[in-house]
Amino acid sequence: MGLFDSLVSTAMNQLGAGHPMLGAAANLLMQHQGGLAGLVQSLENQGLGDVVASWVGTGQNLPISADQLQTALGSDKIAAIAQSLNLSHGDALHQLTQALPQLVDQLTPGGHIDTGAIQQALSAFLQK
């Protein structure tokens, strides 16, 4: 089992096995301009630097509200995720507020972003 498989396995255990939002969150990271680092930058630009730093860091993850996440990502991205999972916009947003911090946390076990390794691992995960 590779590093990413181990990280995803841990995240899935925390989220619940087979949780479809995990795949949607991984896809969001892959499609976001700049990948994980770009998403972190977007959240920091929205005044959420402390929140996203807690996800990347090794301590407790701070929560993100649905409104904060929607403002940072935009309604179009949330709507696309909702449609792909056959969820309402609100349900998709709520689930993403739970899944995204855990996924980012699992992808940054050392408390920093290794962009090359993360992008490669996400690509391999999404091709499964």
Q: In terms of C-beta density within 10 A (0-12 exposed, 13-18 middle, 19 or more buried), how is residue 38 classed? A: middle
CA distance between the termini of the chain: 14
Tokens 């995240």 correspond to 11
State the architecture of 3-126 in CATH terms.
Orthogonal Bundle (1.10)
Q: Which has more confidence, 5 or 71? A: 71
Better pLDDT: 77 or 127 = 77
Question: Average pLDDT over the chain, rounded to whole?
Answer: 82
For the chain, give every domain's residue range.
Answer: 3-126
pLDDT value at 94 more than 90: yes
Helix, strand, coil percentages in the chain from 3-state DSSP, rounded to 5: 75, 0, 25
DSSP letter assigned to residue 39: H
What count of other Cβ atoms lies within 10 Å of the Cβ of residue 3? 12
Encode 44-74: b = buried (16+ Cβ within 10 Å), e = exposed.
Answer: eebebeebbebbbeeeebeebebebbbebbe
pLDDT in the model for residue 77 = 92
> 85 or 3, which is more confident?
85
Say what percent of the chain tops pLDDT 90. 44
Per-residue pLDDT reduced to its tens digit, 40-83:
999 999 999 999 999 999 899 999 999 999 999 999 999 999 99
The answer to whether 61 and 102 are in contact (CB under 8 A) is yes
Chain centroid to Cα 10, Å, comes to 14
Taking residue 126's Cβ as centre, other Cβ atoms within 10 Å add up to 13
pLDDT of residue 12: 53
How far is it, in rounded angstroms, from Cα 113 to Cα 14?
A: 21
User: Between 7 and 52, where is the model more confident?
Assistant: 52
pLDDT at 17: 46
Task: Give residue 64's pLDDT.
Answer: 97
